[in-house]
């Protein structure tokens, strides 16, 4: 009860000064992670919360499932096809290269981990989180094509990274002799196959039902939103009940539902801007108190260096390679490469790995991921607004109306819009 009281008091306090803090590059995740660190048993000992608690895992998993569903559901693939180069290259080229680079660096720096455990670290840290770079994807000073590329990337790469993770977990289990090859092959097939099937069934079926209800004017605006979130949770829990992966199911359900029921996308956007932010900030608060605080003493120079490289070269070099031939400036490639923050998806996926007994080095995997996310919360949060403004001024001064960065794109709603933009919508 004390934990909940401290959290809601923090929501009140932050809400009263949120716009003022935002102008000074102090983001919500920074505030809530820092507060979690401060009140944790390892600091002021005001709250008692542990990563082993069932409520902690439940909050994190439900939040990620809803974010996966809402992010996938708001993507307009017609708009993406209108200008596909940046998002497609980030997802199809940069993301696999980033995982590969993460594996290579991890195999060298993280000597206590086996090869497939280093691969697990790389997969968990592959997805990016728009919440930590909110000032980038919502800042109108940044060219629309760049904002949209980062927006689509963050909306899809968390779901796309999950199959990589569970394949690597299976190989780690085989390497650690924790099960037969047949067992782990069945594990992969069930996790991915059943996850996709359940997601398609829930997404297509649920969206069709909602579309019929909208046509008959039998559902109110509030329950349009609640129905959409119910679909995310049905996909998550249904897939888990059948032995599939709930996160893959939630992601696929969002993709399917968003394409056949257009009003659903608007409701998902409303939820992600309001109630969804509360869930996300709650997860970051628990992350600071239960995940990060106990792991700070375990930081070694190898872990710290890997975290720094994960946020810089391991992502920035693959992004630059993926952008070859598009005619983008070096400033744009650096900007896109830097804004690959690690957040909610990495937190929850690391928690899943921690419970996989087949991964012998799961404790160190968890520590590496937690420290990397902790660095990212502050590094990307503090730089998002000033670098977005600086990049916008650079594009304006360069006077490059015909440059690829300045091409017009069909708009896709972001998970986080500027407050003034939301008031006008």
pLDDT, tens only, 381-421: 999 889 988 888 888 776 666 667 766 666 665 555 444 44
- pLDDT category, 150, cuts 50, 70, 90? confident
Q: What is the mean pLDDT of residues 286-290?
A: 95
Whether the CB-CB separation of 306 and 368 falls below 8 Å is answered with yes
| Residue 110 to residue 106: CA distance in whole angstroms | 5
Domains of the chain, each with CATH number or no CATH: 2-424 (1.20.1530.20)
| Residue 191 to residue 187: CA distance in whole angstroms | 6
Averaged pLDDT of the chain: 86
| Residue 224 to residue 214: CA distance in whole angstroms | 8
Coil/strand/helix, residue 48: coil
Q: What is the mean pLDDT of residues 246-269?
A: 80
Residue 399 class from Cβ within 10 Å (0-12 exposed, 13-18 middle, 19+ buried)?
exposed
**Has residue 425 got a pLDDT over 60?**
no
What is the chain's length?
Answer: 425
List pLDDT tens digits, range 180-213: 778 878 888 888 999 999 999 999 998 888 888 8
Q: What is the mean pLDDT of residues 359-374?
A: 95
**Has residue 13 got a pLDDT over 50?**
yes
What pLDDT sits at residue 205?
92
Among the ranges given (157-161, 274-278, 388-392), the one the predictor scored with the smallest mean pLDDT: 274-278
**Has residue 134 got a pLDDT over 80?**
no
Q: What is the mean pLDDT of residues 224-253?
A: 90
Among the ranges given (33-47, 140-154, 269-283, 410-424), the one the predictor scored with the smallest mean pLDDT: 410-424
**Has residue 378 got a pLDDT over 90?**
yes
List pLDDT tens digits, range 66-119: 888 888 887 777 666 666 688 889 999 999 999 999 999 999 999 899 999 999
What pLDDT sits at residue 424?
38
Helix axes 181-189, 144-175, angle to 10 degrees: 150
Structure tokens at 131: 């919440």
Q: What is the mean pLDDT of residues 334-352?
A: 93
What pLDDT sits at residue 415?
52
Helix axes 362-398, 28-39, angle to 10 degrees: 150
Residue recorded with tokens 């209800």: 213
Q: What is the DSSP letter of 93?
A: I
- pLDDT category, 302, cuts 50, 70, 90? very high
| Residue 63 to residue 57: CA distance in whole angstroms | 10
């Amino acid at each position: 009860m004390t934990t909940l009281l401290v959290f809601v008091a923090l929501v009140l306090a932050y809400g009263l000064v949120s716009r003022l803090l935002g102008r000074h590059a102090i983001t919500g995740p920074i505030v809530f992670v820092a507060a979690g660190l401060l009140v944790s048993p390892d600091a002021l000992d005001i709250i008692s919360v542990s990563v082993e608690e069932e409520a902690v895992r439940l909050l994190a998993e439900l939040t990620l499932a809803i974010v996966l569903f809402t992010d996938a559901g708001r993507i307009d693939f017609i708009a993406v096809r209108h200008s596909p180069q940046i998002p497609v290259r980030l997802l199809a080229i940069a993301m696999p290269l980033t995982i590969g680079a993460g594996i290579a660096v991890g195999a060298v720096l993280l000597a206590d981990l086996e090869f497939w455990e280093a691969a697990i670290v790389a997969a968990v840290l592959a997805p990016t989180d728009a919440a930590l770079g909110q000032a980038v994807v919502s800042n109108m000073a940044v060219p629309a094509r760049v904002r949209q590329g980062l927006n689509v990337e963050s909306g899809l790469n968390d779901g796309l990274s999950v199959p990589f993770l569970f394949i690597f977990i299976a190989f780690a289990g085989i390497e650690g002799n924790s099960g037969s090859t047949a067992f782990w092959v069945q594990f992969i097939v069930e996790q991915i196959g059943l996850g996709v099937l359940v997601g398609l069934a829930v997404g297509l079926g649920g969206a069709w039902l909602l579309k019929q209800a909208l046509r008959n004017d039998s559902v109110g605006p509030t329950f349009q939103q609640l129905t959409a979130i119910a679909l995310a949770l049905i996909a998550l829990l249904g897939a888990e009940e059948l032995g599939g992966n709930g996160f893959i199911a939630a992601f696929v359900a969002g993709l399917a539902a968003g394409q056949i029921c257009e009003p659903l996308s608007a409701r998902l956007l409303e939820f992600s801007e309001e109630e969804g932010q509360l869930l996300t900030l709650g997860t970051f608060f628990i992350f600071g108190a239960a995940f990060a605080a106990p792991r700070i003493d375990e930081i070694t120079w190898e872990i710290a260096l890997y975290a720094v490289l994960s946020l810089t070269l391991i992502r920035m070099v693959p992004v630059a390679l993926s952008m070859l031939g598009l005619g983008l400036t070096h400033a744009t490639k650096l900007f896109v490469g830097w804004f690959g923050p690690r957040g909610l998806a990495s937190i929850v996926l690391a928690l899943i790995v921690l419970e996989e007994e087949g991964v012998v080095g799961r404790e160190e995997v968890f520590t590496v991921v937690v420290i990397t996310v902790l660095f990212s919360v502050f590094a990307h949060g503090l730089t998002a607004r000033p670098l977005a403004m600086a990049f916008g001024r650079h594009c304006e001064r360069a006077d490059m109306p015909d440059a690829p960065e300045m091409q017009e794109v069909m708009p896709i709603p972001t998970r986080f819009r500027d407050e003034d933009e939301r008031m006008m919508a």
